[in-house]
Structure 1
């Protein structure tokens, strides 16, 4: 596991919270920064960010110390050696669609991570 520079992440991306089947779509790095500020103390160590290449990043919340600069408290992203399989991502997207009340989720399929990201984005519209 290595700490990540934001430039390494291929946007769009999604966040998979461990305790929720819904995926949080992030079009750009600024979307991650907004989400990280909002959730900074609510992430748990098994929450993941998945980028458009299938790279998985564990979201590590920073300790709850007080910083004058709120950016100092943003969670760290730790790149995992193993990419998520496309089959697992399809399951994530199907569970997401089901959680937000879409029908026919078994028919949702795609052949690239980027296509899956677009499906998540379109389901949220």
Structure 2
């Protein structure tokens, strides 16, 4: 992986796969780099990693798991919607009431 790109990620972060409401919580760079499931995946163009500041990174894999920077930044309300879908997918009730003061706080609820 290009280490300069992983150094741009402000952890914690989540992985959002295209067409899947499930989010994967990534606590730190080691969790990302050593995640066996991620290392065995093939990614779609729409798959992304979102860090605690809302920065969006594209995921891809050639020989190794890698990140590409984008100019996209998600806002707190967009992240809350993703988490609400994730929680609903797990059968949580009252997910529409889920709220957080920051993206980092929202991620830490996962």
Task: Please classify the TM superposition score into its range, dividing by the shorter chain length.
Answer: 0.7 to 0.9
Q: Residue 93 of structure 2: SS of its match in structure 1?
A: coil
Q: Is 2:33–2:65's contact at 8 Å kept on the other side of the alignment?
A: no
Deviation of 1:83 (Å)? 0.4
TM-score scaled by structure 1? Answer: 0.78
Is the helix fraction higher in 1 or 2?
A: 1
Is the strand fraction higher in 1 or 2?
A: 2
Structure 2 residue aligned with 1:24 = 24
Partner residue of 2:65 out of 68, 75, 80? 75
Structure 2 residue aligned with 1:14 = 14
List per-residue Cα deviations over 1:6-33 (Å, max 9, x = no partner): 2211111100011210100011111111
Q: Residue 34 of structure 2: SS of its match in structure 1?
A: helix
Deviation of 1:78 (Å)? 1.2
The alignment covers a number of residue pairs equal to 107
Give 4+ residue runs of structure 1 displaced > 6 Å after superposition: none
Structure 1 residue aligned with 2:43 = 43
Unpaired segments ≥5 residues, structure 2: none
RMSD: 1.6
Deviation of 1:4 (Å)? 4.8
Report the Cα distance in structure 1 between the residues aligned to 2:24 and 2:42, rounded to whole angstroms. 14
Deviation of 1:85 (Å)? 1.5
